[in-house]
Every structure is written in structure tokens, then in C-alpha cells.
Structure 1
């Protein structure tokens, strides 16, 4: 039976674990709704009589909702208890996905996607702060990693789950399923999250201004640069597998499961490393990511080597997640932790857009798929240099 935490309690046992699991379920559902649409663009386009590129904008609409709506919603809910914010976000998430499931037109489907993105950014921002409050200081990064495990599993399962279910029962069934996961997360959160907790510093426009300059801005830039390299490659992983590794298109999803297995390992590893020492964890994981992406230029040359490369890519990419989030929170002391965390989620989504755009431009320029690996490696390398400059300048908190 779940135990409800109360304000001011400090739990490391069963009650805290249930609360972290509830946050993980919410993270899984919210992450899932981001990815399920990717494998169903053709079906959505045909159903709503729009072009496939127009259907693809449903992904962009979601990302814009995360990037810009997340911080705004965090400001709007700054005075509410953390528990109530999470419950409200899950309710918004459920309603947005129900709207997607029943949307009779492209416009309403886009509206549902944008609203879902609002919930995404704020949930991970507030959720990371709540997770840290449940555990001792030496386990804070691991708590963040546990919550983000839900997102990693969504990354692994989102595309194949959405494709298989959508093709079998119709694309609307995927949104009904995601709504059901949201309802489960809402119930679990209501039963397990602590009541009466607020942020130490309320989110407001002054706090936002403080987070967009100095040390916090450098941390946001580090996140954006580090993850732009990931998305520069991963956005085009299917054509890389079929064009460079000579993998059959029907087997691409199986290879992505290896990437997903690496994600799970890397996510937990990054949390443990950050708990032991944030500086070496941040520099080490970013440098490791750059090395793995560069090595993929040679490691994706055949189907067998591609298996190992994808596992290492997933592990390296997500080993940086907890250190980057913890770094942003540390650089934002004195400002709203919830807003800082939400802005960092926006930075991840900005990295998505930047990486995909650079990769697409390289391909359009005729540089070939192989050029994505050195280009991708440059991004986390720049993040390492920026981090070193931050430490050397004394702007590290």
C-alpha cells in the first residue's frame, strides 16, 4: 500500500520510492506522447487529408509547446503546492491527449499537441525538484535519473509502440492508450506525492531574468550544445542504418531497441557519477559522448558493428542527462529551481531543433550521411570547452 508523504518529511524508504515511481510513470506517459506520432505520420496525413510534411509539423508544434509553454506554465503555477502542480499537469496531459484522440480536424489535433507540450516542460521541471526533495543530498542526481528513466523507456518504446498499435487499431488508439497511462500516473501521484511543499524561491519574471544571464545561461548553453550533437545524429538514424549499415528497413526497430538498452544503462550511470562528483561527471560524460559519436563514423559500417555502436550511443547520450540537469540546478541557486529545471528542458528541445536542422542542411548540401558523425561530435566538444571555461572563470556555483 502506498504511503502519503507530508510536508517537511524526509523519506528514503518505501514512501519515497513510491513517489519516485509515480513521477516515473508520469514521465513515461508524457515522453510517450512525444514519440508515438513519429511512426504514424502517413496514417494521420491520410486520415485528416493533409500532406505528410504538414503532419510532421505536429512534432514541431509539440516541441514549441515544450520550449515556450513550459516556462510560462511554470510561472503561472508558481504559488501552488508541488503536489497540486503535478496533479494539474497530469489532468492537462490527459485532456490534451483525449483531444488528440477525438480531433476531427488537423487544427484541433495540433492544438492538442501544443497543450501536451506545455505539460511536458513543466512536469519535468517541477518533477526534478520534487524528486530531489525526497532523498538525501548524496542521492539527488540519482533521484533525477530515476524520474527520467520514464522518459528513457518512452524513447525506447514510443516509436515501435505507436507504430504497431496505430497500424493495428488506428492512430487514434495510440492517444487513447497514452491518456490511460496519464490516468494511472494521476492516481499514483495523488496517492504518493508529498503534500504542502513549495519551492524555496517562487518562480517569477525576475527569477526568469536572472536565469537568462550569467552562470545559469552558460549552463543552458551547455545543455543545448551537448544534446544538439545527439539529435544531429539520432534524427537521421533510420537512413543511417539502411544507407550506411545496410540494415533492412524491417529490422530498424530492432536496432533501436539496442539504442534503448544503452539509454537505460547510461541514464542510471550518469546519475551515480553525478552523485559522486558533478564536475568530473559532467566533463566525462560530455567528452565520452563526443568520442562515441565520432567513433560511429567507422562503427556503423556493417550491421554487427552497428549493434555495438547504437548501444554505446544510447548509453553515452543519456549518461549526460542527470549531470546536465543537476548542473543547471546548481548554477541557479537563489533563483526558482522549478523554473531553472523547466528552462533546461526547453534547452533540450532547442537542441533537438538545432541538431535536426544542422543535420538536414548537411544532407541537403550533399555532404552525405557520414558527415553527421564529425558534425555531431563537434557539439558536445564545444559543451566541454564551455564547461571548462565556466569552471575556470569561477562562475560555477
Structure 2
């Protein structure tokens, strides 16, 4: 668990620190805020493409070995980010870095779930996500500070170090997971034939996007001289507030998943709508805006393990691909949220306005959630009725 959490720490740091570094990157390359936001979309696109592709084609590789390969690839991608000579190369480097993201979390999550006692899968997945959440508390603010006092590329140097440490930890402490059977591409692709898989992915893509619409532009939002007017040196504090909320929210989401999964997802999406609206109003002040940003982190992170468990429940034998598709959906939300937030700002609205777009996205996710739950309940009842009808016919 420690080795997996360390990998999550590195991945979480590289994904989220880019958002806080956008003003520095934009200044370095002399570009607008919305164009700088494209590096966020490039990373997210790498996750969207890499997660299903890698997990589908690598089912025959032992899980421990695959985790080592993925983390080594992650180190290469972040090293290319540091060495990128121009904006185009930077976009390519971020895309490459995102490729192993979803596959790493899907494989490590399945390893944790397979070792968990009955009824505690949500808790196990939440513990796997602790490293990712801890990154937003310590790794991201520290990397942000390094980027401000040295150079924004120094932040990615920290990520490379975390990746190398993860490779060593996996090598020495990760069990070989010999009881996890290999799968074929045909088995994994079976998940794509299930409507409940697609509906769950839709919930994640739409519902999670609002968080990134806010997070991507948080540095500009909190330092806007017409609103909060926060000193830029305090942005790491704002990011740490999000991380603290995310750490607790991740555990809370695992707790909800083990108790009432379907209702828990609905409650979480409803709460996201409320906090997005609250952030739009309260972000005009440094303290209240920081607190609300932490609450956004809480409910956004609570959604992740719940969606992961739901995908595992509805995917049949295609567990690895389903888990990977969850990260594809969440990072498609990353790209969509960043793009939507940039479009709102480019249209002339305030830096806080993307939170309203985020609230609208969460409402859209609720519209998907209700029929998805009802359809699954109906199919389960039909399956139960068929089972008892066959049992009566057989006289047993």
C-alpha cells in the first residue's frame, strides 16, 4: 500500500501543480491564460487515451511488473517536461506523462480491492487514493513554491524524484499478486458492451468537470485585484486547503460506497452543485474563498471511489478496463472543465464565473444519475425474477 500511495503522490503532484503554475508558464511563453490551459488538456488527453489502451493490451503482464513499467514511463514523461525546448514540445511531454496515469490507478486499485475483506472495497480504494490526496496537501503546494522561487520546471523535478522513489518502493515492497489471473483484450473490451458502464462514465465526465473548471484557474481567481486580491505567495495555502478537503473527502467517499453506493453518488453530486454556487459568491474574499475551495476538494474527491466501485460492479469480468475507464472519464472531465472554464473567461466573465459552469455540469450529471440508477434496479429485479422462475420450474 505504501508503494502504491507513493506513486499516487507523484501522479497527483504532477497533475495538479500544473494548474497552479499556469501563470508562470503563460508568462514564460508569452501567451494568454486560456492557451496556457491547453497543457492541462494535453495531460488529460494522455490519460483518456492511455488508460483504456494500456489496460486492454497488457492484461497478460503480471500486475507488479506492469506497475513498475508504468511508473518508469511516468518518470520519462516528467523528465521530458523539464527538457521541453518550446510550447509544442511541452504539450507533447504532458500528453506522454498522462498516458500511464489511469492504468497505474486501475491496476493498483484492483490489487487493493482483491486483498480487501468483504464489504470493505470502498475503504481499500480510498486508502489507495490517500497518496493522491496527500499530494494536494503537501506535494502540490511545495512544488508550487519551488516553481515560484526557482523556476516552474523545478516543480517537475520534484515529481521525477517521487517517481524514482516509487519504482524502488514497488521493486522492494510490492507483492507479486500471483492470485490475480491474467486477462485477454477480448475479455476487457466486453465492458464496452454494457450500457451501465457508459452511463457511469458519463456521470463522472460531466459531474467531475466542474471541479477542474475552478481548479485550473484558481491562481487567477484568488489573486484577481477586483475580488479576493490575494497575494500570489499565498496560493500554495489555497492549494493545500483543497488537498486537505480532498484527503478527507476521498475517505468519506469510500465510506459512502460501502454503505449505499447509488444514493451516495446522488448526494455527492447534489453537494457539488451547492458548493460551486457558494464558491462563486464567497471567492470574493480570501479566507472564505479558500475554505470553499477546500470544500470543493472534499466533495470532488468523494465522488472518485464511488464511481470506481460502481464501474467494478457493472463491468462483469472486465474489471481492469472498467477501472481504467473511470480515470479516462475523470480526466476527460479535466480537459472539458479546463476548456469550458477558459471559454467562460475568454468570453469576458470573471475568473470566478467558471464555478457557475461547474454547477451546471454537476446538475447535468444528476440528470444522468437518476435514470441510470432506476435502470439498474429494474435489471436487477428482472434478473432476480428470472432466477426464481427457473428455480420453481426445476422444483428446487
Mapped pair 1:261 → 2:244: yes
Distance 2:22 2:164 in 1: 25
Residue 363 of structure 1: aligned partner: 345
Shift of 1:116: 1.8
Counterparts in 2 of 1:194 and 1:322: CA distance versus 1, 3 Å: same
- Quick check: 31-40 or 231-240, which moved more? 31-40
| Shift of residue 301, structure 1, vs aligned partner | 3.6
Task: Tell me how far 1:178 sits from its aligned partner.
Answer: 2.0
Distance, in Å, in 1 between the alignment partners of 2:259 and 2:216 is: 32
Is 1:220–2:201 an aligned residue pair? yes
| 1:172 shift after superposition | 4.6
CA distance in 1, matches of 2:200, 2:177: 30
Aligned with residue 141 of structure 1, among 122, 127, 144? 122
In structure 2, stretches of 5+ residues that fail to align are: 381-396
Q: CA-to-partner distance for each residue in 1:294-316, whole Å, 9 max, x for gaps?
A: 22233334233223322222212
Are 2:358 and 1:384 aligned?
A: no
Match of 2:390 in 1: none
Say whether 1:346 aligns with 2:354.
Answer: no
**Aligned twin of 1:151:** 132
- 2:283 pairs with 1:287: no
Aligned length: 375
1:22 aligns with 2:11: no
SS in 2 for 1:394: helix
* Structure 1 position 218, deviation (Å): 0.2
Equivalences for 1:205-216 in 2 at 5 Å?
207-208=188-189, 210-211=191-192, 213-216=194-197
Q: Give, in angstroms, the shift of residue 31 of structure 1.
A: 2.0
Cα 1:264–1:210, aligned 2, differ >3 Å: closer, same or farther? closer
Shift of 1:57: 4.2
> Do structure 1's residue 296 and structure 2's residue 279 form an aligned pair?
yes
Task: Report the Cα distance in structure 1 between the residues aligned to 2:177 and 2:241, rounded to whole angstroms.
Answer: 41
Q: 1:226 to 1:122 in 2, by over 3 A?
A: same
2:375 counterpart residue number = 393
The within-5 A match list for 1:184-223 is 184-197=165-178, 202-204=183-185, 207-208=188-189, 210-211=191-192, 213-223=194-204
- 1:86 pairs with 2:67: yes
**2:260 matched to 1:277?**
yes
Alignment match, 2:394: none
Separation in 2, partners of 1:362, 1:163? 25
- Indicate conservation of the 8 Å contact 2:20/2:216, yes or no: no
With over 3 angstroms needed to count, the CA separation of the structure-2 counterparts of 1:368 and 1:46, relative to structure 1, is closer
Contact persistence 1:41–1:52 (CA under 8 A): no
Match of 1:323 among 285, 288, 306: 306
Q: Is the deviation greater in 287-296 or in 235-244?
A: 235-244
Q: 1:198 to 1:84 in 2, by over 3 A?
A: farther
Q: Which deviations, in whole Å up to 9, do the C-alpha atoms of 1:215-266 show, x marking residues without a partner?
A: 1000100101110121222222233323333433333332232222111111
Is there any run of 5+ residues in structure 1 with no aligned partner, and where?
Answer: 1-19
TM value normalised by structure 1: 0.84
Whole-Å Cα distance in 1 between the matches of residues 222 and 91 of structure 2?
30
Report how far residue 51 of structure 1 moved: 4.5
1:371 CA drift (Å): 3.8
Distance 1:359 1:208, change over 3 A: same
Deviation at 1:359, TM superposition (A): 2.2
1:353 deviates by: 1.6
Q: Deviations over 1:344-377 (max 9, x none)?
A: 1011111112122222222333344454333321
Partner SS for 1:247:
coil
The verdict on how the C-alpha distance between 1:239 and 1:51 changes in structure 2, with shifts beyond 3 A counting, is closer
Contact 2:12–2:136 (CA under 8 A) maintained in structure 1? yes
Contact 1:273–1:281 (8 Å) recurs in 2: yes
**TM-score in terms of structure 2 length:** 0.84
SS of the aligned residue for 2:119 comes to helix
> Does 1:372 pair with 2:354?
yes
